[in-house]
Amino acid sequence: MRNLVLLFALAAAGGFIPQDVAAQGPSSVTPVADVNFSLRTAIQDGQMVFIGNAGAIKDQVNPDLRVPEGAVVAITLTNADGAMHDIAVPDFGAQSDQVIGEGAATTIVFRATKGGTFEYLCTIPGHKLAGMVGKLIVGDVKEVVSTAIDVAKDPAHVGEPVGDRAPKHITYDLLTTEVEGKLADGSTYRYWTFDNTVPGPLLRIRQGDTVTINLKNAEDSINIHSVDFHSVTGPGGGAAVTQVRPGETKSFTFKALHPGLFVYHCATPMIAHHISNGMYGMILVEPEGGLPKVDKEYYVMQGELYTAQKHGSSGLQEFSVDKLLDEKPEHLMFNGSMNALTKTFNMEAVVGEEVRIFFGVGGPNLTSSFHLIGEVFDRVYDLASFTSPPLKDVQTTLVPPGGATMVEFKVDYPGKYILVDHALSRAEKGLAGFLTVTGEADATIFDSKEGIDASSGH
């Protein structure tokens, strides 16, 4: 009764109702608002989502909710899948109760006091990552043309296999740049890169090759940069002779004495700052005769960003030296951005194909527990040693910062397989990628009696 009196009193006072006055079920009084939306929860294509119930957003997945600036907005959420959910618009302090069980409902009411694009989401841990997030667009939002570039590295850019050739002299030109790049939807970061991507290019050579590295620092850079190759036997891995000022070029030549998969990175003080900002990559030194042929090869590196702003913030993110020194990253990613291996690029294979992943950790600080949900690695070249026998039938493999591994496996069943660091809290800060496998399903390998989507993971 108290809530009813409060609702009518607020309506008489102008229609605004605080967000914490929520309808407790479908039969409750609907709060007075200028704009009303109705959403339901669902599991669709292996993801948790919001779906519009009525009007212009009916049956749309995670629909854009458009409202005038200053409007009182009511969003009603009905639980249609039986799991525990809620709904929130953090930028306006709107947070619902949890709805548990099919048919339960709740409503948040708030005033959209500022124009712009904001998130609505489910705040239950893991649910935003699983797909429960959409956009609230307040006012006449003009589309801003961003000058930020896409620094995410295409994992399919693995270079040409060396095959069964003799050693030769190879030259690589690397350019160091400082660019504003896309971090996530609505956010950017001032990355430092090799060749405008994070990670830098995968360089692919043969044991016994002689390699010349020409390192140029872009004219518009502010900082000195360099490169240290872990494959190099020589002062600083090359860093001692490649401290390059803006507009300058320096070179060195080395012989590839050891086969393996090696990290390279900038080694200009503060080294951890340069690495975190994106200055890392890998060089593959194939053994004599080359690596065995496989159907698909992919190049993936894990990195960390330390920003003053919390994960999920919009706009240009600023570097935080305190968080770097405390080893508390706000963002973790595969291949440079939050969306690199989930939206920007597709990693694909067909049932029966052999897949090889060149995986490394740029870091600069965290060790990765590399894992592919729903698959087992047939062979793991531990610490990227090609002269040691590979480990077989491995679920998760450790890769230290500045280290690498090579994994190989046959894909046996279709679905969406998720690359993670099995320190799984890190997935909430962006560390996930997809390998999509197509082809015929074999019920002797996996058979779902409940109709569970094979792409949903464990």
Sign of the Cα pseudo-torsion (45, 46, 47, 48, in order): positive
Tell me, what's the pLDDT at 448?
82
- What gap in Å lies between CA 238 and CA 159, rounded to an integer? 22
Sign of the Cα pseudo-torsion (172, 178, 180, 183, in order): positive
- What gap in Å lies between CA 353 and CA 371, rounded to an integer? 19
Q: What is the DSSP letter of 266?
A: -
Tell me, what's the pLDDT at 143?
63
Tell me, what's the pLDDT at 267?
98
- What gap in Å lies between CA 265 and CA 324, rounded to an integer? 17
pLDDT in tens, 196-208: 999 999 999 999 9
Which helix or strand (DSSP H or E) is residue 372 part of? Answer: strand 368-373
- What gap in Å lies between CA 109 and CA 98, rounded to an integer? 15
User: In this structure, what are the phi and psi dihedrals at residue 445, rounded to the nearest 5 degrees?
Assistant: -90, -45
**Residue segments in the chain with a per-residue pLDDT below the cut of 50:** 1-30, 451-458
Burial status of residue 451 (CB atoms within 10 A of its CB: 0-12, 13-18, 19 or more): exposed
pLDDT in tens, 21-77: 443 344 444 457 999 999 999 998 778 999 999 999 999 999 999 999 999 999 999
- How much is the mean pLDDT over the chain? 91
Tell me, what's the pLDDT at 458?
43
Burial status of residue 448 (CB atoms within 10 A of its CB: 0-12, 13-18, 19 or more): exposed
Tell me, what's the pLDDT at 24?
38
User: In this structure, what are the phi and psi dihedrals at residue 70, rounded to the nearest 5 degrees?
Assistant: 90, -10
Q: How many CA atoms lie within 13 A of 107 on its CB side?
A: 25
- What gap in Å lies between CA 379 and CA 391, rounded to an integer? 6
- What gap in Å lies between CA 106 and CA 83, rounded to an integer? 14
Q: Which two tokens mark 105? A: 């409902």
Tell me, what's the pLDDT at 313?
86
Burial status of residue 59 (CB atoms within 10 A of its CB: 0-12, 13-18, 19 or more): exposed
Q: Which two tokens mark 424? A: 């799984």
Tell me, what's the pLDDT at 46?
75
Rg (CA), the chain: 25
Query: Locate tokens 């010349």: which residue?
Result: 212
Q: Which two tokens mark 425? A: 């809290």
Strand partners, 149: 181
Tell me, what's the pLDDT at 32?
77
Instruction: List, in order, residues 6 or more apart from 182 with CB less than 8 Å away.
Output: 146, 148, 149, 150, 151, 152, 188, 337, 339
Tell me, what's the pLDDT at 289?
96
Cα–Cα separations (whole angstroms), residue 43 to 47, 83, 115, 130, 405: 5, 10, 31, 10, 35
Q: Evaluate whether 318 touches 277 at the Cβ level (below 8 Å).
A: no
3-state secondary structure of 327: coil
- What gap in Å lies between CA 300 and CA 27, rounded to an integer? 51
Domains of the chain, each with CATH number or no CATH: 2-138 (2.60.40.420), 151-161+178-199+259-458 (2.60.40.420)
CA 196 to chain centre: 18
pLDDT in tens, 345-364: 999 999 999 999 999 999 99
Task: Calculate ∠ Cα 65-69-72, nearest 5°.
Answer: 75
Sign of the Cα pseudo-torsion (309, 311, 314, 319, in order): positive
Tell me, what's the pLDDT at 269?
97
State the pairing for strand pair 133-138/116-121: antiparallel
